[in-house]
Each structure stands twice: as C-alpha cells, then as structure tokens.
Homo-oligomer: A and B are copies of this chain.
Amino acid sequence: MDKVRIGIVGIGNMGTGHAKYLIEGQVKGAELAAVSDVRPERLQQAREEWGDRVKTFASAEEMFGSGEVDGVLLCTPHYEHPQQAIAAFAAGLHVLVEKPAGVYTRQVREMNDAAAASGKVYGIMYNQRSNPIYSKLRELIASGELGEVRRTNWIITNWYRSQAYYNSGGWRATWAGEGGGVLINQDPHQLDLWQWTTGLMPTRIRAFCQFGKHRDIEVENDVTAYVEYENGATGVFVTSTYECPGTNRYEISGDRGKIVIEDDKITFWRLRELESEFNANNEEAFKQPEVWKFDVPVASGGAQHLEITQDWTNAILKGTPLLAPGEDGIKGLTLSNAMLLSTWTDAWVDLPIDEDLFYEKLQERIEQAAKAKKAE
C-alpha cells in the first residue's frame, strides 16, 4: 500500500474538519476516499462539494464492506464508536476513533479486544498529545527531571457552555444522547493528558459531581475529584462549564520541585537537589532547599488533528508506533466513569472500576430521564 484510502464515518462538525485537510492533501500518504452518514442532506452536501472524487454511503456498514477504503475515521456520537470500530475491524479495516472512545468502559474494552484480535492499526484522536507543551511535560517527568511525582492538581474550569449551547441540540447533555456532561464531552483531553503526562493512573478515586448546576441539563457540569496513586501521591481534578472566565492550570509537584502549566507556558521551580535528600541531611529547623525558577522552552507548532491522522497513516504505511494508540482511550474514560460512579454510590471507587455496576447505574439515569420527559 502506498496510499491509505480513508473513509470518514459521520460528517458533522468533527468529520467535516478532518475531511477538509484530507481533501487538501495535507496528510502525506492518505486520501479521502469515502464518507458515510445516515443523514441524506449531509451526503448531498458532500457530493456537491467533492463530486465523484469522494464516494458517499448511507451507512457505515455499507462503506466498510465496499472495498473502497483501507481505514476509517469514526466521527459519530460517542455511544456508536465501539460498535462501529468492531464492525470495521471485522471488515479488515484500520480504525482511528474520535474521543471519547465510548461512553462506558465495558463497550470500550470490547472495542480494544476486537482491535487486538484484528492486528489492524487502531488510533484515537487525542490531538492534544501533539501539543508540544504536554509532550514536553511528559518528557520532563519521564526523564526524571521533576523527581518522583508527589501531587497533581488540575483546575480545568474554562469549558464555558451557556444554556444556548445546551439547547442547540436535543441530544446534548442528556444521558441517552451523550452519556454524560463535562467529563465525557469537554474533558476527554485533560483526562487523557492527566495520566499520560505523569505516567500514573490512580488506584482509587473519590469524586463529587453536581448535575445541572446553573443550567437546565440532566448531566454533570461541576466535578471535584480526589485521587490517590500507587506511589502515595495524591491528585485533584476540578472542572465545570458555568464559570466565566474559567481556569486552566495544571500543577505537578515532585521530589525535585514543581511544574505549572498555565497560559500556554511551562514554569519549572527546580530544586538543586532532591527534596528527599535535602530533608535527610538538613539540620536547620527553618532551612529550605535552593530553588531555581525558569520557563521551560517549548517547541512551537503541534499540528493537532492533522498530526494524529498523519501519525496513524504513517503507522499503517510504515509500521511506526502511534502517539495515541486506541487502547489508551479506556484510561481517561475509566477516570470519567469512576468520578460519576463515586458520586452515584457516594463512596470510594477502586480502579479498575466495576464496569457492570457503572453500566447499570448509567441505564438507571437514562430510564429516569425518559420517565421525567414523559411526565412533562
């Protein structure tokens, strides 16, 4: 294969964005070969814009079986990702799935299993992994510059969404339509980066979600989560959609100082020696380790979605490792599911979570919402 023929499933906002750079030939070794959508007007639009150059299909399954594509990019509603990916793998196709991987980890685990069995290239659109700020942070931590991580603290409250946003689609912010609120719709990148940059997944979580706060919606739009890691470190994640202006501040403290990412920059307060070593040797009651504060240089660029699609294409053509393997999608989703589950059970949630219990509790919310709608 010298060119990957890509098919896009779902040409809404995200799908159209991917189509644009593919049509412009911005991804080397890839071409947009086909699109599918269940909405006839979208296909009509596609034909008007691209003519015969791009095939159109009225369903994903038709496209998967057409022989016209080598890999597919899934840009459908969250709930549909796993079943479509599984069908695509069964048809022998490579898959790049939009985030979130799915709504509940049980279905995502099935998708991961299907991917592994297929041997196909399986990526996830975690485009923020291409952001040089976060890859630099990951490199700083992995290389030991920060020492062992002792605390993480992410305040990510700048996902402002007004009631008008929520009213702009009937499926929005509903359990049946999206399966959650800020955690599943706005935070997937942060929930991925939080563990990807540190290399740490929590061992247990206690979280506090509030639902429909300052907004007329069913789902959570205010979350505070406390986590504990295996190495004894702790962490906090605070997110909301009604604060204006919100904050995006990610602090990680370690044995060799502190790093803060805020306003698109990395500030490092670095100790001359490890705190643990200073503490073991120091004999003066009020002495502190020497600190050097500086801005960490960060490469410009980071081609975001385009970079992830290029990376996935390269993996198909050349067998290079993926920046964002599809299997990783379950990690951020596990955090998101655990935060809801902790709130619903008003208790600690140990990881890995009880996937069946989460699924059951989610179904309860969907049923309650349907009943409430009927009663209106």
Contact = CB atoms under 8 A, between A and B. Distances in A.
Interface of A: 150-151, 153, 155, 157, 160, 162-165, 168, 206, 208, 210, 213-215, 222, 224, 226, 228, 232, 234, 236, 238, 240, 242-247, 251, 253, 257-258, 260, 269, 271, 275-276, 278-280, 282-289, 291
A116 B275 CA distance: 48
Given A208-B228, A210-B234, A213-B232, 12 more contacts: A150-B243, A151-B243, A162-B279, A164-B282, A164-B285, A242-B279, A244-B257, A244-B258, A244-B275, A244-B291, A245-B288, A247-B253
A48 to B, nearest CB: 25
A269 B160 CA distance: 14
Contacts of A271: 244
Contacts of A155: 153, 251
A230 to B, nearest CB: 14
A278 B162 CA distance: 9
Contacts of A232: 210, 213
A279 B243 contact: no
A157 B288 CA distance: 14
Contact of A253 (B206, B236, B243, B287): B243
Contacts of A257: 244-245
A308 B61 CA distance: 76
| Copies of the chain in the assembly | 2
Nearest to A155: B153
A12 to B, nearest CB: 14
B236 A238 contact: yes
A214 B276 CA distance: 8
Contacts of A210: 232, 234
Given A157-B253, A234-B210, A162 B243 contact: no
Contacts of A260: 247
A164 B244 contact: no
Find the residue from A210, A269, A279 having the highest chain B CB count within 10 A. Answer: A279
Contact of A251 (B242, B247, B279, B280): B247
A36 to B, nearest CB: 26
A150 B247 CA distance: 14
Contacts of A168: 285
Contact of A224 (B165, B234, B243, B287): B234
A240 to B, nearest CB: 7
A324 to B, nearest CB: 26
Contact of A151 (B153, B206, B240): B240
A238 B260 CA distance: 16
Contact of A208 (B226, B269, B287): B226
Contact of A222 (B234, B245, B278): B234
Contacts of A240: 151
Nearest to A228: B208
A283 B168 CA distance: 9
Contacts of A258: 243-247
